[in-house]
Amino acid sequence: MDMNKALEVISALSDGVNPETGEELSNESCFNQPQVIRALLIAKQSIEKSIQLEKRKSELPENAGKPWQVEEDAELSQGFDSGMSVDELSLSHKRTKGSIASRLVRLGKINERSEIYVREHSA
């Protein structure tokens, strides 16, 4: 079962509905007890957050979160010095723009992350 299907089931149960038939659960059902409903709502929120996190991860560049290698630092410095834009550097290194900016600060190429964006707009 995937997370989206699990979310459907949990949502139905927390709404007092049988997820298989769509019929309303009886008042005597354990799923209609306040404590169970609260637990289901917490589970629902947790699954929703997990789905959002997975979506975010799938949208990140391939190297996001991976450690930087010495060779990559050299390539980044060279690219920056040659005038490549933050977009070009980001695509080239398969990293986020924020990661590129942070690494340039660490390498002493800029003093603050925001400088990379100022440079973009003044070019």
Q: Is residue 64 situated within a structural domain? A: no
The pLDDT score that the predictor gives to residue 105 is 96
Q: Is residue 32 situated within a structural domain? A: yes
What is the residue range of 100's domain? 70-122
Domain final position from 14, 35, 59? 59
Number of domains, the chain: 2
**Of 71, 67, 54, 78, residue with least CA distance to 102:** 67
Domain final position from 35, 59, 83? 59
pLDDT in tens, 9-39: 999 999 999 999 999 999 999 999 999 999 9
Q: Is residue 42 situated within a structural domain? A: yes
94 torsion bin: left (phi>0), alpha (psi -120 to 50), beta (else)? left
pLDDT in tens, 78-122: 999 999 999 999 999 999 999 999 999 999 999 999 888 777 666
Tell me: do 11 and 34 sit in the same domain.
yes
Supply the pTM of this predicted model: 0.63
Tell me: do 53 and 89 sit in the same domain.
no
Domain final position from 16, 40, 59? 59
pLDDT in tens, 90-101: 999 999 999 999
Tell me: do 53 and 82 sit in the same domain.
no
Q: How far is CA 119 from the centre of its chain?
A: 27
Q: Is residue 55 situated within a structural domain? A: yes
CB of 100 within 8 A of CB of 89? yes
| CA gap 90, 3 in Å, rounded | 31
